Amino acid sequence: MKILVLTRKMKGKANFIYNSYTNGITKNYPDSIVIDYFDLYFDLAKENFEKKILETIKVKKIDIVFINFISGDLTFDLKFLQKIESVSYLIMNFYDSELFFEPIERYYAQCANLVILPTSSAFTYYYKILNINTTSTLSLFDIKKYENKKIKKDIDISFIGNIEKKSRQEFISFLQDKGYKVETYGLGTKNGKVSFDEMIDIFNRTKINLNFSDTITYRSFNRTYNTNYSTVPKITQFLQQLKGRTIEVALCGSFTLSQDALGIDELFGKDEIDTFKTKDELLQKVKYYLDNEDIIEEKSNLAYKTAIVKFDVERKFKELFENLDLKNKIEKKIFIDDAFLSNFYTYHILYLFNFLFKGRFKDFYQEFKLIEFRKLDLITSYYHITQQFKYQVINKLFKGRK
C-alpha cells in the first residue's frame, strides 16, 4: 500500500502532533511520500501545486492520500479535492472540529472517503448526518518522544499553556489567593514559553498538572503561521474542548487534574485522572491530592499504562489502515455556498499578496483570477495584506531589525 501524506512539516518540535501523525504512517508504510502542502503552494502556486500532487498520485501509484489539515486552513480548492478522490482513496484528518466544523470542515469533508477526528466520538455525529464516513481516534502521539523519568516531583502544581485566556488565569489566581504555589509556563506567564524537552521535564516533576478545556474567546489572526481564525464565531468562547494535554502528561507518568469536557471519559477513567468544574471543586481536589500523594502515584501509573497503548499513533494507524476497504467509496454530491466561498477567498488573499510582494506576477495573476473580491471578509484580508508586506518587504529592506 502506497500513501501520499499532505501535511505541515513542523521544524524542531513545534506543534509536534503534525509530525507525529506523519511518523505514524511512515513507520508502518516506509514507501509513503510526504509533502508539506503549505510550502508547496507557496513554492508553485495553485496550477502547478495541483499538477504536482496529481502527477505524484499517478506516477507513484498512490493508493491513499492522507491530508493532515492545519487547523483553520483553506488552501485546497474543493474541486481539486474531488479530483484527488476520483483517482485515490482520500482520508482527511481535522483538528479543532469544535471550532472549524461549520465554516470549513463540513465542506471539505464532503470530498473524503474517510474522516478521522482526534476528538470525542460524540462529535462524529455531525459528520455522519451529512453521510460522511467518520471515526474518532482521539489524539494520537509518537510515544517514543515522551519519557517517564521516574524522578522526584518537586513542583506541587503547574500549568503549561496560554494563560492569556481569561478563565485560566481566574482559576490559577484563585488557587494562588488560597496560598497554593502554581508554576505557570507559556504565553503570558511569569516563566515564559518552554521547549518541548523542558515541557517533558516539567510534567515529570509536577505532582498536579493542570489542564483547561476552554477554547479561543475572540476572533484572532495568528501572525506566526498566517492562520486565519476569522471564521470562528464568538459563541465558541462557551465551548469546552477535549485536549490532548492529559495524554501527554500521562505519557510522562504523571497526574492530570483537568477541567471537565465532553468525551474526557473516553481518554481516561476516574481511577487514572480527575476533573473539576468550579473553582471550589478545583480547590478541594488540589488539597485532597497534595495531602494524598500515594493516590497521585496510583493514578499516574494507571494512566501511563493506558496511554502507551491507547494513544500510540504507530499502533493506531497500523490498525486503521489494515482495516480499510479501498473499494468501498460512496458516490458524492458536493455542496458549496457563499459562506464557505467568503472564507476560502479571504484565506487566499494570503497567497495573493505573498506572490505580489515577491514579484511573482504570474502566480499573483493566478490567485487574482481565483478570488471573487466581492465576497471577501475585508478585515481579515487586511491582516493578510499587512502581514505579507511585513514578511516580504519590510523584513528584506531592514534585515536583522525588528
Residues 89 and 35 in one domain: yes
Contact 96, 73 (CB under 8 A): no
- 70-128 tens-digit pLDDT: 988 999 999 999 999 999 999 999 998 988 899 999 999 999 999 999 999 999 999 99
Contact 105, 130 (CB under 8 A): no
CATH of residue 155: 3.40.50.2000
Q: Which domain holds residue 354?
A: 338-397
- 268-282 tens-digit pLDDT: 999 999 999 999 999
| Domains held by the chain: number | 3
Whether residue 402 lies inside any domain: the answer is no
Whether residue 327 lies inside any domain: the answer is no
Residues 14 and 133 in one domain: yes
Whether residue 51 lies inside any domain: the answer is yes
Residues 99 and 200 in one domain: no
Residues 60 and 190 in one domain: no
- 359-388 tens-digit pLDDT: 999 999 999 999 999 999 888 888 888 888
Is the confidence at residue 397, as pLDDT, over 80?
Answer: no
CA–CA dist 226, 123 (Å, integer) = 27
Residues 388 and 249 in one domain: no
Contact 311, 247 (CB under 8 A): yes
Q: What angle (nearest 5°) sits at the alpha carbon of residue 186, between those of residues 185 and 190?
A: 55
The conformation of residue 14, written as its DSSP 8-state character, comes to: T
Contact 50, 40 (CB under 8 A): no
Residues 300 and 152 in one domain: yes
Whether residue 164 lies inside any domain: the answer is yes
Residues 280 and 363 in one domain: no
Residues 39 and 60 in one domain: yes
- 294-303 tens-digit pLDDT: 999 999 999 9
Whether residue 331 lies inside any domain: the answer is no
Whether residue 285 lies inside any domain: the answer is yes
Whether residue 332 lies inside any domain: the answer is no
Element (H, E) at 75: none
Could you give the residue ranges of the DSSP H alpha helices within 69-195? 78-87, 97-100, 106-108, 124-128, 166-177
The conformation of residue 28, written as its DSSP 8-state character, comes to: T
Residues 71 and 120 in one domain: yes
pTM listed for this prediction:
0.91
Residues 199 and 106 in one domain: no
